[in-house]
């Protein structure tokens, strides 16, 4: 028995004692045991009664896990190639902007060691590090406000902001520089890299298409995004960390990238990815941040998706209060649509469920969600608008919407703030999310503008 247990442990199994039958007479134990073995064999259950069976079962589990992993990797590779084929690459950044470095900060940078691995005395290295930390304190108050609109809209998560500060400091003071303009240009690309390019990198990496930033740049090919990333290629682990940045919301942005693009470009979802895509779309359902094509894709993957909003309570209320059919549904829709009423999520879900179809929005750009996942969806929406696969929100032209998104990720304090909110002319029946209480639009717009 002990050898058997050791064999189980070696293969990663831990036996557990479970009573199968009570009150079995001692002289019938062996017979009952054989009956249970026969029952398990007939049902196809794995038996680990012998060391050989343990090893065989462990090998089978490992083989099946490897097959599933390979199938998932192949599915991601297929999806990534299809997304790139339709969109070309991430939304291109603004390339004509720079971070203006204060004179004192630039002076410190020019005195840093020439390379990261330069052989210098320990005391000198400590002195340089202290000076760099002091210089970083001088840089942050100057640099951070350059992205004030990004922080105002999507910068309330400390995880994202701390990572941004870390990368800004790390790149600025990595080593001695002699080209001030070049350093300003690559610093200007950091938020774009973390927001717009990172989901694409993770998508390619999960699909086994790129295991490093250099491979990712090669995979993107002749695209403005790859040329922008090439400027950061010498930054080593800082570029890898930027591209691997995962913001602090509750859905993977690489899966959102595949799901949204597939819905708007007509890309088939491989079966091995259907569960992950369905999960992201169901998360978007309750925001609500599904466009009509995304809602269609969710219905294909989950015909009962509407039930995730809860049961339809409107008919029973109509019956209980002797109201004509549909009265409660109309009242709830009108109630959550009132700008002065801040309906909680349960009431909004009940209203959406009563309407009988999934709530949708014009553009899934999460205008007032607090983290950089939302900014990534804004960048993706702009890329879809730019390539003609998604209509811009009513108000700005396609070109203006795309340019505003680029400016959001660029270091500038010039921003047409009045055009950040909903233009107030989205289609009737859709939901406006220009504040934290999305409302159903029953007329020509939400009234904001």
Residue 358 confidence (pLDDT): 87
Range 412-420 average pLDDT: 45
Lowest mean pLDDT among 203-207, 290-294, 407-411: 407-411
Number of domains in the chain: 2
The pLDDT-based confidence of 17 (bands split at 50, 70, 90) is: low
- Statement to judge: residues 163 and 237 lie in one domain: yes
Reading the block at residue 202, the tokens are: 């993770």
* Nearest Cα residue to 367 out of 411, 422, 414: 422
pLDDT at 431 over 50: no
Q: Is residue 342 part of a domain?
A: no
Q: Is residue 82 part of a domain?
A: no
Maximum Cα–Cα distance for the chain, whole Å? 93
The pLDDT-based confidence of 376 (bands split at 50, 70, 90) is: very high
Residue ending a domain, among 243, 261, 296, is 243
Residues 405 and 363: their CA atoms lie apart, in Å, by 13
Lowest mean pLDDT among 108-112, 183-187, 188-192, 258-262: 108-112
Q: What is the pLDDT of residues 120-140, one digit of tens each?
A: 565 665 666 666 666 667 777
Residue ending a domain, among 243, 265, 281, is 243
- Statement to judge: residues 30 and 122 lie in one domain: no
- Statement to judge: residues 107 and 235 lie in one domain: yes
pLDDT at 53 over 80: no
- Count other Cβ atoms within 10 Å, centred on residue 327: 14
- Statement to judge: residues 109 and 200 lie in one domain: yes
Range 19-44 average pLDDT: 78
Residues 6 and 234: their CA atoms lie apart, in Å, by 51
Quote the mean pLDDT of the chain: 80
Which residues constitute the domain of residue 169?
A: 103-243
Q: CB burial class (10 A; 0-12, 13-18, 19+) of residue 216? A: buried
pLDDT at 173 over 80: yes
- Count other Cβ atoms within 10 Å, centred on residue 111: 12
Residue 188 confidence (pLDDT): 93
Residue 144 confidence (pLDDT): 76
* Nearest Cα residue to 426 out of 381, 360, 367: 360
Residue 336 confidence (pLDDT): 77
Lowest mean pLDDT among 49-63, 379-393, 405-419, 425-439: 425-439
Report the predicted TM-score, pTM, of the whole model to 2 decimal places.
Answer: 0.76
Q: Is residue 216 part of a domain?
A: yes
- Statement to judge: residues 7 and 136 lie in one domain: no
- Statement to judge: residues 38 and 110 lie in one domain: no
Higher-pLDDT residue of 11, 413 = 11
Residue 103 confidence (pLDDT): 87
Q: Is residue 209 part of a domain?
A: yes
- Statement to judge: residues 145 and 37 lie in one domain: no
Q: Is residue 251 part of a domain?
A: no
Number of residues that this document lists for the chain: 449
Residue 48 confidence (pLDDT): 61
Q: Is residue 217 part of a domain?
A: yes
pLDDT at 42 over 60: yes
The pLDDT-based confidence of 370 (bands split at 50, 70, 90) is: low
Cβ–Cβ under 8 Å, residues 94 and 181 = no
Range 291-299 average pLDDT: 96
Cβ–Cβ under 8 Å, residues 194 and 372 = yes
- Statement to judge: residues 144 and 215 lie in one domain: yes
Cβ–Cβ under 8 Å, residues 108 and 132 = yes
Residue 58 confidence (pLDDT): 67
- Statement to judge: residues 128 and 30 lie in one domain: no
Range 6-10 average pLDDT: 65
CB neighbour burial string for 243-276, b if at least 16 within 10 angstroms, e if fewer: bebbbebebbbbbbbbbbbbbbbebebbebbeeb
Report CA Rg, the chain.
Answer: 28
Of 14-23, 106-115, 231-240, 253-262, give the range with the top mean pLDDT: 253-262
Q: Is residue 237 part of a domain?
A: yes
Higher-pLDDT residue of 373, 86 = 86
Q: E strands of 220-346, at which residues?
A: none
The pLDDT-based confidence of 36 (bands split at 50, 70, 90) is: confident
The pLDDT-based confidence of 57 (bands split at 50, 70, 90) is: low
Residues 82 and 124: their CA atoms lie apart, in Å, by 52
Residue ending a domain, among 243, 262, 280, is 243
- Statement to judge: residues 230 and 111 lie in one domain: yes
What is the four-CA torsion angle of 150, 151, 152, 156, rounded to 10 degrees? 130
Q: E strands of 326-406, at which residues?
A: none
- Statement to judge: residues 206 and 126 lie in one domain: yes
Q: What is the pLDDT of residues 223-266, one digit of tens each?
A: 999 999 999 998 888 999 999 887 555 789 999 999 999 999 99
Residue 208 confidence (pLDDT): 96
Residue 447 confidence (pLDDT): 35
Higher-pLDDT residue of 403, 422 = 403
- Statement to judge: residues 139 and 215 lie in one domain: yes
Residues 335 and 329: their CA atoms lie apart, in Å, by 10
Range 375-382 average pLDDT: 94
Residues 213 and 114: their CA atoms lie apart, in Å, by 23
Residue 30 confidence (pLDDT): 83
Residues 315 and 332: their CA atoms lie apart, in Å, by 12
Residues 373 and 155: their CA atoms lie apart, in Å, by 10
State whether residue 432 is helix, strand or coil: strand
Residues 321 and 316: their CA atoms lie apart, in Å, by 9
Q: Is residue 236 part of a domain?
A: yes
Residue 89 confidence (pLDDT): 97
């Amino acid at each position: 028995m002990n050898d058997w247990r050791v064999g189980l442990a070696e293969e990663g199994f831990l036996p557990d004692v479970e009573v199968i039958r009570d009150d079995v007479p001692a002289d019938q134990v062996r017979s009952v045991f054989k009956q249970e073995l026969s029952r398990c064999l007939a049902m196809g259950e794995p038996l680990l009664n012998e060391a050989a069976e343990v090893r065989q079962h462990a090998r089978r589990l490992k083989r099946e896990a490897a097959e599933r992993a390979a199938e998932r990797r192949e599915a991601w590779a297929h999806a990534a190639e299809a997304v790139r084929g339709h969109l070309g690459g991430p939304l291109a950044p603004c390339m004509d902007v720079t971070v203006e470095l204060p004179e004192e900060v630039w002076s410190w940078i020019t005195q840093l060691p020439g390379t990261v691995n330069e052989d210098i005395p320990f005391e000198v290295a400590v002195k340089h590090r202290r000076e760099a930390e002091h210089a970083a304190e001088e840089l942050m108050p100057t640099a951070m406000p350059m992205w004030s609109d990004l922080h105002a809209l999507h910068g309330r998560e400390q995880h994202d902001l701390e990572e941004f500060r870390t990368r800004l400091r790390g790149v600025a003071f990595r080593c001695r520089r002699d080209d001030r303009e070049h350093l300003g240009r690559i610093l200007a690309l950091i938020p774009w890299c973390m927001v717009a390019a990172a989901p694409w990198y993770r998508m390619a990496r999960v699909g086994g298409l790129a295991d490093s930033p250099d491979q990712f740049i090669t995979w993107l090919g002749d695209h403005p995004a790859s040329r922008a990333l090439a400027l950061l290629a010498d930054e080593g682990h800082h570029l890898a960390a930027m591209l691997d940045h995962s913001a602090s919301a509750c859905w993977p942005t690489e899966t959102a990238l595949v799901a949204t693009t597939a819905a708007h470009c007509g890309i088939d979802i491989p079966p091995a990815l259907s569960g992950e895509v369905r999960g992201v779309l169901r998360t978007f359902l309750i925001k609500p941040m599904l466009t009509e094509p995304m809602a269609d894709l969710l219905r294909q993957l989950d015909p009962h998706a509407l039930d995730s909003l809860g049961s339809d309570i409107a008919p029973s209320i109509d019956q209980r209060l002797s109201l004509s059919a549909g009265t409660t549904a109309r009242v709830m829709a009108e109630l959550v649509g009132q700008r002065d009423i801040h309906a909680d999520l349960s009431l909004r879900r009940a209203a959406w469920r009563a309407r009988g179809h999934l709530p949708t929005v014009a553009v899934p750009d999460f205008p007032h969600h607090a983290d950089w996942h939302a900014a990534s969806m804004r960048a993706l929406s702009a890329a879809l608008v730019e390539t003609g696969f998604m209509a811009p929100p009513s108000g700005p032209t396609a070109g203006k919407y795309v340019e505003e998104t680029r400016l959001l990720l660029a270091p500038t304090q010039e921003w047409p703030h009045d055009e950040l909110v909903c233009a107030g002319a989205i289609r009737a029946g859709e939901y406006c999310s220009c504040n934290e209480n999305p409302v159903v639009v029953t007329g020509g717009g939400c009234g904001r503008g």
